[in-house]
Amino acid sequence: MRFNEKELVFLSRQPSERAAELGMRGPKKGDVVKRRQVKLIVNFLFYFRIDEDEPIGALLLEQCRVEKEDNHAFSIVFLDEAERKYLFECDSQEQCVEWIDAIVKASYEFMRKNLIHYRTEIHRLTGKDPLEQYGISDETRFQVNSGLPPLPPPPT
Amino acid sequence: MLFYFEERESREPIGVIVLEGCTVELCESESEEFAFAVKFDCIKARVYKMAAENQAAMESWVKALSRASFDYMRLVVKELERQLEEVQEEARSSQAKNKMKKQVQAAASVQPATFSLQNAAITGPVQEGVSSRENGVSWSKPTSVPNGVSEGCVWEGDCSGKGDGVRPPPVPPRRKTNGGSLESPVSPGTGCFSKLHDWYGKEVAELRIEWLQSQ
């Protein structure tokens, strides 16, 4: 699938939420841990070879699960059919916990859920829909019942 | 993200445009009416031109695309978070001020009485508080389409309405009525009664001291 690479590379140069050198292992069998510069920007996790300007790749942090692993490590598992798992090794427990927290909160889906929660609460307490004044109360993504569509069934 | 497919029924997209950092503009086109473009700030970025079928569709797309960024979402969430805190704070302080000032003369055994009254009070002050705040705060709508909508939409919030110290006079307590406009009679702070109890107790203690000193 094509994507707008130049703009993504440009995005990878913007100030990040969090950046560090971590050990990273890819999802394929036989992948080993390599040192990478990892940068969290909006809901992307960019990764670079050390001291290189252009990212090797990026992980879009949606529809994924973040899990604590042993030895100051965490993994990101993508919830498609294959359940691809990326491992990240940190320097300390503290750093590990901070990264997990940051990644969980980085997703668009997380923000969307928060927004719906605040909207519902404010409406409950005041009887008014806070999104009305911005003219966005009808947007699909802000409705209580709209979740992401279910993942497609695995290919037969 | 803007995914694009060959056809309506195609299962997989041909590609995706990551919209973070983009601006959306109307554009002139000889071949297409209702054309608009997605542009980026970076050098040598492609300009993505698109055209809708009619004016309404075009406007709807331009609005949606310009609000698609992460930053926009973050702004809205922060704003609602702030609003919720304000509402909760007002509910707490209005209830306390109304009830405590009336009760302080008969300072003994105020606490049990307060709890039952606090349910009635919420229907009054909270409404007042909200409407005065709305008058004081003005929000401009996202920048209008013809000027080229900028990504992230600028909020011009005049928050001084809250800080100018003009509060509505406290409303006398009303009994909670069925079918009141607020659905829930329970104050947001009653999650833990002992906490609420301590909180009210604090104000009572302070007011009691004030009253004693004025004797």
Cα separation, A150 vs B113, in Å, equals 52
Cβ-defined contact of A133 to B139 (cutoff 8 Å): yes
The residue among A85 and B196 whose pLDDT is bigger is A85
Please tell me the least confidently modeled range out of B3-17, B57-71, B126-140. Answer: B126-140
pLDDT-above-90 percentage for chain B:
27
State phi, psi for B199 to the nearest 5 degrees. Answer: -60, -50
What mean pLDDT do residues B36-61 have?
Answer: 90
Contacts of A126 in chain B (CB under 8 A): 87, 126-127, 130, 182
Cα separation, A92 vs A90, in Å, equals 6
Contacts of B84 in chain A (CB under 8 A): 118, 121-122, 125
User: If 0-12 CB within 10 Å is exposed, 13-18 middle and 19+ buried, where does residue A93 land?
Assistant: exposed
Q: How high is the pLDDT of residue B41?
A: 85
What mean pLDDT do residues B67-80 have?
Answer: 90
Contacts of A119 in chain B (CB under 8 A): 80
From B183's Cα to the closest Cα of chain A, the distance in A is 7
Average pLDDT score, chain B: 66
Q: Is residue B97 predicted with pLDDT exceeding 50? A: yes
Q: Which two tokens stand for residue A126?
A: 């005041």
Burial B109-142 (b: 16+ CB within 10 A, else e): ebeeebeeebbbbbbbbbbbbbebbeeebeeeeb
CB-based contact B3:B13 (threshold 8 Å): yes
ipTM above 0.85, yes or no: no
From B110's Cα to the closest Cα of chain A, the distance in A is 26
Cα separation, A90 vs A41, in Å, equals 18
Q: How high is the pLDDT of residue B30?
A: 79
Terminal CA-to-CA distance of chain A, rounded, Å?
21
Q: Is residue B119 predicted with pLDDT exceeding 50? A: no
Q: What angle do CA A156, B3, B9 make, to 5 degrees?
A: 50
Q: Report how far apart, in Å, the C-alpha atoms of B155 and of each of B55, B72, B78 are.
A: 26, 10, 12
Contacts of A137 in chain B (CB under 8 A): none
Cα separation, B11 vs B8, in Å, equals 9
- What is the DSSP code string of B168-191? PPPPPP-PPPTT-SSS--S-TTTT
Chain A interface mutation, best of B24, B42, B62, B76, highest count of A Cβ atoms under 10 Å: B76
Question: In the beta sheet, which residues pair with residue A36?
Answer: A22
pLDDT band at B104 (very low <50, low <70, confident <90, very high): low
Low-confidence stretches of chain A (pLDDT < 70) are: 146-156
Cβ-defined contact of A119 to B188 (cutoff 8 Å): no
